[in-house]
Amino acid sequence: MELLQSLENTNEWKSFGKRYLQIEEFIRFAKAAGIYDCTLEELEEYECNRWMFPAARLVMPEMYARSFWAAQVSGKSFEFDDKFLPFHQLNFAMRYPESSLDVLTGCDLRHPIDCAWGVVEGLERPRDKEYLPRESYAVIPDENEREICCLTALHFYHYWQIYELYWVRRIHKGMYKDNVPMPIGEFEGGNGCIVHSLDAISYFQHLCQSRLKPILATVSPDLDGWIELDPSQQTLLEQKAHQDALDSLQIYKLSEADLYTVLKQLMSLHNAYVKSERIRLAEALQKDIWRTVQFIQSAFNIPTDQIAECAGRIGGYTQNYLELLFPDRRKEARCQAIKILRSLAKEYNNKAPTYAMPDNEIDALLNWIETTDLAWFEYVVVELNATHLILHSWHTAASFLYLKSLASFPESLIKTLILLNGDSTTRNNLQNQRNPGMGTVICLMFRNLTPSILGSYQSIGQGYWEAKTVAEFTQNSAHLIPLISAASSDEVYLGVNLALATLVRNFTSHLVVEDPQLLQGRYVKCVRAILAAVFAVWRAARSKGWV
């Protein structure tokens, strides 16, 4: 059975976003998007019935056509009257786009067809013309070879007409008997309908890509293969995009309200595709929804979160639909991290009420680390929790790697607190250390505090917080873990957790171990110890007035 691969992983994906596709390209792209068995005859039927039209048609003048096809058939040189030069340039640009597009348009950023409307004779909008069968666009290049018949017309479709094709098939042909009702009437009408608006968005995106292409040609990728624009280039592109968006709105006579209307229509359409399991169509449409957001953002300088709020909800979802399609990973990580930390803080607060972490302190901790280079803490907390709950073939290795990352955080947090906010004496003490480790920075953090957490940490943990082998880690953790539940005071509870956090930090810093038995029965205790250390460090910094 053929597995359904992502549309982006197909060769036809390169057609996505192209302003005009030759009819064969369009059919291949439609197939890749899950609209199978589309044919020239089917598309001609739709044009005949005025259900769906090609975006453009380029028809050769008869004299030019005879000479052109005679040259193609015989291999002789192609000669034509100079009066056909504008048509010839456009014809060759569309037949051989890789070599002629830039030469034809020059400094004009528009697509050659958009440049040629009303200028080049033979370029037609099929919607404005009487239907003629395809065979009527034919010519016999040589009277002596009447069996040779060559077409004189090229037909073009916009890539986004795959949505229109699906709609026509369903509404007019009775195909796709899905249970979910599709929006009806949105592919018909004037300004503000999906067809008209997607054309405008495509026009705008082509301008943007045309501006970006020569800039990228002057920028060399770094050693990792990435191309990054400098601030002046980025600012210039944003300014030009704003003007291009305004020009596009004027050309297509669209307002801000029109764009929000079509954005909501596209979201409804996407929701219907998803529920109908039209996965590849939904994948393509999601990209076009984002292009619509970019259009609105460029035209009106509106932040994307505000656009999401204005676009609103679709299909009974409780969240703005754009946020479902394009989640803010950092915002999501923070929200999930808060839930996890608040849950884990309950036991901690019962055991260490003097150093308790109420909800507002957890918020304050995350607010502060987001101003530093430590914001990755939220991501690691979330991923570590998810990895622990979802078993897979790499579960043990992944759990160890996330634990390794989390275990380094208390040490990094202490160093950052001291260097950014600590008193001058402590800061100097840290800077004078050649290679301060976890134990050293804990001593700097908790010295001179009452109750004496540092004293408990040193008396209980001494000799148990170093481990360079699995055997040492197993032995030392087996000694420390029972002491946590047996702790009779704040300082003992925090001291033991700090000792276990130090042990995990020192052990994981030396190696990565894929041993299913190693952390079994210890993993949660190790995680809780590390987070208890984080909470204690934050509360200690609070008491010192560092934050």
For 157, the enclosing helix (H) or strand (E) is strand 153-157
Give me the mean pLDDT over the 372-378 stretch.
Answer: 96
Half-sphere exposure of 317 (CA within 13 A, CB side): 15
pLDDT tens per residue across span 15-63: 999 999 999 999 999 999 999 999 999 999 999 999 999 999 999 998 8
Among the listed residues 352, 332, 379, the one whose alpha carbon sits nearest the alpha carbon of residue 535: 352
Give me the mean pLDDT over the 498-514 stretch.
Answer: 91
pLDDT tens per residue across span 199-252: 999 999 999 999 998 888 888 888 888 888 999 999 999 999 999 999 999 999
- Rounded Cα distance between 53 and 43, Å, is 8
pLDDT tens per residue across span 469-497: 999 999 999 999 999 999 999 999 999 99
- Rounded Cα distance between 443 and 200, Å, is 64
Q: For residue 291, is pLDDT > 90?
A: yes
User: Which pLDDT score is estimated for 73?
Assistant: 78
- Rounded Cα distance between 71 and 78, Å, is 5
pTM value is 0.84
For 156, the enclosing helix (H) or strand (E) is strand 153-157
- Rounded Cα distance between 125 and 158, Å, is 13
How many C-beta neighbours within 10 Å does residue 101 have? 14
Among the listed residues 160, 114, 125, the one whose alpha carbon sits nearest the alpha carbon of residue 15: 160
